[in-house]
Chains A and B, each alone.
Chain A
């Protein structure tokens, strides 16, 4: 009964979306206020209806209702509650339901907090948004109905893929979807602006918070996914340039570019057409990612089902959304006029360089991801494009951008002074050179790019700190004034400092863990000791250690450093009973300078020996720490008073904060 109610609510949401897609936009064209006023109510109604549908499915999961096919295929009574809940989106149908839930949530947010938008513009935004929603409702109802019943009911379910039964993965999809779908808001704003033929600073002030929010969630989602791959797949790596990873990475690159170009529209009234284009591209890449992941053209843990009808449907949706919006852009884009002029050497110029690097980087990743599919489709050879390709193309494109990143914020708007900026960065240059040389001396042998990478990270980090010091006049003004300036620093610029510093830390982690990773594979009998990167691992044997829905073998390593006990590592090899599928649980001890990482494999011989794999991953935790710092910087920037005022008071930018009636 509850399940049918959920299904029915979803159908109703589709009907509401049709109304929202037609009436307000026609009303806006005709100046009919009553028709425009339909939009906010409809958006909120949509959200409530989808929430009902989502809760209905969650109820079926939590109560293990095995008369629902989706629950049978992805759940089991023995599964812990957390994974019963995360199982809702741990499958194709449920994850699409999560997608529309977030989509409608964003629509409702515009309805609730967008009171200050011009009525006609809000009506158009919500209508465009409704059309996106219609596409996805139809997709779910026609090809992937999560509420399908199974008669007679099954006795028990087939369990969730054990790889997905993990806290990291429980939260990875919602974060990623918040990011993907967040770009739908920027998309709707861009298309509505094209229809109106007007883009101005207040438009950018609206688009930026949405893009920021989406970007933060996407950053966190990608980091969670890579962290999961690191500890769950047991290969000691954290990024594989797997097509599904690329699918989430491309929107991130475009979103980063959009974030910077929207700033220029807001502050300098320039690059409007480009910004609108980026908004379209960011969401298009999100859709493309969904297509690649969901259609089954790629095989991975994410491709839950390979039903050709779904692929065709998403492909049509893709063609319609991307083709339609780009056609609209080609038609209306040239009407957008830019007033702000700037020299190539200026903050605008630096941001444009960022945009250029991000987009060429995204293009390289896109090409590498689609090329094998394309070759296969035209009947060519079967090839795979792996990490070497992406490392050889993407990394060199990013190096000049990262080098310029330290300089950009020190340049003035409109016309910058490169020589003066470089003079202020001598500390950063000296620090980078010293660190790189020191590390190159230290490492003895090994690739030079490790030292260069750390040097680049140092350059960026010190450069960011120099800019921050300049901003608060550290050491130049009395301490009291510096503190006062620190307190008054707009959160948006503090957010930039955080995000750029986060990237520097992540780069250090990426360079170090790639260049100096130590790997050791061997067979160990109980009592055997192996030395990896200065740590002595002694294998103490393995024993059974069963969990609620799996059986496991748990090995124990005692680790000694300088002949003193340092840690105990207990990796497991689990076999999940229902699917009889084995998984590897790596044991990881994180230290400041690197991770100790141990994995146990198959037994060998009769003396209790096991194949073991031990890694030392230098600075690897810095990657996620850096990513978290980036996301935190984004959130800090999002909390900037100017945006809240911008949200609440629209163009009355100088209105005092306490006069603002609503907060976002």
Chain B
């Protein structure tokens, strides 16, 4: 093969790879991106996409109820609106009432069926989505992390 042809082969292989990558990324972006909504968004918007999404907010005080068999019911609130959530499984270590959490799942007949509940890493930690949801609903109180 001549030098020119060789270069053409390399360029072609490179383009195939890039094209494949671009196609994969675009299709994955369409199908696998998970949107985030606050309880207020859910209450206000009538129709919701029939796919998994995330909600975030605080676990409402006094709402956690263990239904047996590992099933847990609670309500997630941004202090303006609240959405009932069900989850089956072991809740994260830091899950407790008043704690900011993010749940991922589907809305089925007004109840959010979560397949994943995230509340992680630190008791001072507030998921940024939750903080934003609280800010939007006007319930955000600026609290400094406890510093000595």
Task: Spell out A's residues near B (CB within 8 Å).
Answer: 69, 72-73, 150, 154, 158, 161, 163, 234, 299-301, 341, 343-344, 352-353, 356-357, 360, 363-364, 367-368, 371, 381-386, 388-389, 392-393, 396-397, 521-523, 573, 579-584, 599, 601-602, 604-605, 611-613
Contacts and interface: CB of A to CB of B under 8 A. Distances in A.
Contacts of A352: 10
B120 A356 contact: no
A344 B10 contact: yes
A392 B27 contact: yes
Contact of B70 (A163, A363, A611): A611
B21 A393 contact: yes
B142 interface: no
Nearest to A386: B34
Contact of A604 (B14, B68, B129): B68
Contact of A367 (B14, B25, B68, B93): B25
Interface string B47-71: 0000000100000000000101110
B91 A602 contact: yes
A300 B121 CA distance: 7
B122 A601 contact: no
B70 A522 contact: yes
B33 A389 contact: yes
A521 B6 contact: no
Q: How large is the interface on B (under 10, 10 to 19, 20 to 34, 35 or more residues)?
A: 35 or more
B98 interface: no
Given A385-B32, A385-B33, A602-B90, A397 B17 contact: yes
Contacts of B13: 344, 353, 356
B42 interface: no
Contacts of B123: 579-581
A353 B17 CA distance: 9
Nearest to B131: A299
B100 to A, nearest CB: 11
A392 B122 contact: no
B88 interface: yes
Contacts of B129: 382
Greatest chain B CB density within 10 A among A360, A605, A612 is at A360
A438 B49 CA distance: 41
A388 B70 contact: no
Contacts of A343: 1, 6
Q: Which 8 A-B pairs have the closest CB atoms?
A: A601-B90, A382-B36, A388-B32, A392-B28, A582-B93, A389-B32, A360-B21, A393-B24
A363 B90 contact: no
Contacts of B25: 364, 367-368, 393
A128 to B, nearest CB: 30
Contacts of A299: 125, 127-128
B14 A392 contact: no
B43 interface: no
A367 B21 CA distance: 11
A367 B33 CA distance: 12
Greatest chain A CB density within 10 A among B1, B31, B148 is at B148
Greatest chain B CB density within 10 A among A382, A521, A582 is at A382
B141 interface: no
A397 B17 CA distance: 8
B20 interface: yes
B79 interface: no
B14 A364 contact: no
